[in-house]
Structure 1
Amino acid sequence: MNEVVMQLMKHRSVRAFEQTPVPEEQLREIVAAGQMASTSSNVQAYSVIAVTDTALKHELSVLTGRQAYVESCPVFLVWCADLNRLAQAASSHLLDGEQTYADSAESFVVATVDAALAAQNAAIAAESMGYGICYIGGIRNRIGEVTSLLRIPRLVYPVFGMCIGIPSASSGQRPRLPVDAVLHRDVYEPGRTFATIGAYDDTMVRYLRSRTEGRKSTPWSKIMAEWLTRPNRLQLMEFLQGRGLLRR
């Protein structure tokens, strides 16, 4: 493996951080590295809010499901899909009454993918500097309150958060599905995925038993069944449409 691949293969989520601040120069380098990710048609339809204020981080920790590491990390990044900036940039070039498609499903997907690609670039950059990161999907738990707290405008929504800081404790690396479960050849092969589930269940059972000293041993497939049958953040569609997104 080359050094880049080795860095990627070392990734693990970090939830315990030292209180050493992330220097402004390094934070800007991390975000700049994120900006070099691929972006559809060069739209760069994302923004990131760096939260370091103690009171704000506390409020966000509550809104994300009382996740203490949101408050304890030195800097919490909120990655946003941002079509507002595009609308502003285009406004001076539109004919009177000319409509845009910032509210389309395609624009929504483009902005969301752009934000995810930039964030992952930034995550790898941060890890290469010795920092740990943890993605926080809980930013969408109470997304309306987060939006108000951070003064996020229309045509923008917070996709996820990211804790960054120097790890204060080592964390285990969760096993991933085998490559054969996700790599198909020429066409999608449903049987390939199904054939790997049993082996991965065994792997995850061993991992959970080791990590929890025998307290947990639920197979991955059962955890996924519980995830799929649990209504989760069903308010999102109404919220997004109210912000001018996903209307067609």
Structure 2
Amino acid sequence: MSTLSTPETAAQNATEALDARYGTPWNAPLPAWNTTLDTLLAHRSVRNYAKKPLPEGTLETLIAAAQSASTSSNLQTWSVVAVEDPERKARLSKLAADQSQVREAPLFLVWLADLNRLEAAAQRTSASAEGLHYMETLLVGVIDAALAAQNAVVALESLGLSSVYIGAIRNQPEQVAAELGLPPRVMPVFGLCVGYADESRPAQVKPRLPQSVVLHREQYDAPTQTEGIAQYDEVMGAFQTAQGLSAAGWTSRSLARWRSRESLHGRDRLRDALQALGFELR
């Protein structure tokens, strides 16, 4: 259970964490604060890992945390493959845009939307499983996998570990499936590097969009977003500059990410890949 800080410490922790998360001074009332919020607000993506093994039992603890996440109708339509073999990590790295962190992290988790388990249960009991072949059911599996993975991330960060999601695991999903020996109707959704951060190359908390952009009260309010996005472009430009990168703001960087079919890096054919993996997607 989270422990409450003293009022003075809590206020200082809250202010520092919220200022860092948004890149601007926090001007809303401060809530009660605890160590869980410290962990959540301090999240950052870590791409450089120390050559340090994980303590025994870490993987099992993370999976217990993942299985404690909410799951639609208790269907638990997700699985995960833990990869520690250096050669397999190297092959998966090549399939995921050759990202070095996949090779460097001591543990690489590939999170899966898994409908095979329910289909196998239906076959064993001679039950109908027509509903497994619809888009809705795949979406349930993807959501289940994401909820489970984020629970694991919170857990690992509470243990002093770091991580980064690898969406590029979807660049070549059929090849990933072959590497991991996935049965039909199991989709690799994303990867997750896990390890101790290399303190010589620290990662920083990246500011997020202002709440005025993402928080809508009662009904969606598109016109109010313009000012907040303009402000965020300035915040992100300054953050990028401080990181030694180009001063491009969020708008230009985000639009560049979707500028063409080629910018999807193979994921433009995801529907075809899913069909090859046994998903009918009615």
Q: Give the TM-score normalised by structure 2.
A: 0.84
How much has 1:194 moved relative to structure 2?
2.5
Residue identity over aligned pairs, in percent, reads 39
Which AA in structure 2 matches 1:103? H
Alignment match of 1:199 (pick from 220, 225, 231): 231
1:55-74 equivalence runs, <5 A: 55-74=87-106
Corresponding residue of 1:109: 139
Task: Give secondary structure in 1 for the equivalent of 2:131.
Answer: coil
Which AA in structure 1 matches 2:235? T
Corresponding residue of 2:166: 136
For the Cα contact (< 8 Å) 1:103–1:244, is it kept in 2? no
| Separation of aligned partners in 2, 1:90 and 1:195 | 53
For the Cα contact (< 8 Å) 2:119–2:129, is it kept in 1? no
For the Cα contact (< 8 Å) 1:49–1:77, is it kept in 2? yes
Corresponding residue of 1:224: 254
| Separation of aligned partners in 1, 2:140 and 2:94 | 30
Q: Deviations over 1:62-118 (max 9, x none)?
A: 1111111100100000000000011112323334xx452212110011000000000
| Separation of aligned partners in 2, 1:24 and 1:77 | 16
Q: Deviations over 1:170-222 (max 9, x none)?
A: 2111110011211101111111223311000000011011111xx40111111
| Separation of aligned partners in 2, 1:129 and 1:194 | 39
The number of residue pairs the alignment matches comes to 244
Q: Unmatched 5+ residue regions in structure 2?
A: 1-32
How much has 1:241 moved relative to structure 2?
1.7
Task: Give secondary structure in 1 for the equivalent of 2:108.
Answer: strand
Corresponding residue of 2:191: 161
| Separation of aligned partners in 2, 1:33 and 1:99 | 29
Corresponding residue of 2:270: 236
Which AA in structure 1 matches 2:100? A
Corresponding residue of 1:30: 62
Q: Deviations over 1:35-69 (max 9, x none)?
A: 11000000000000000001001111111111111
1:1-16 equivalence runs, <5 A: 1-16=33-48
How much has 1:21 moved relative to structure 2?
1.8
How much has 1:246 moved relative to structure 2?
4.8
For the Cα contact (< 8 Å) 1:102–1:155, is it kept in 2? no
For the Cα contact (< 8 Å) 2:185–2:279, is it kept in 1? yes
Please, what is the CA RMSD of the aligned residues?
A: 1.3
How much has 1:223 moved relative to structure 2?
1.1
For the Cα contact (< 8 Å) 1:36–1:118, is it kept in 2? yes
Q: Deviations over 1:98-146 (max 9, x none)?
A: 4522121100110000000000000110110010001001111121111
Which AA in structure 1 matches 2:204? G
For the Cα contact (< 8 Å) 2:109–2:193, is it kept in 1? yes
Task: Give secondary structure in 2 for the equivalent of 1:217.
Answer: coil
Match status 1:211 vs 2:209: no
| Separation of aligned partners in 1, 2:225 and 2:38 | 26
How much has 1:19 moved relative to structure 2?
1.9
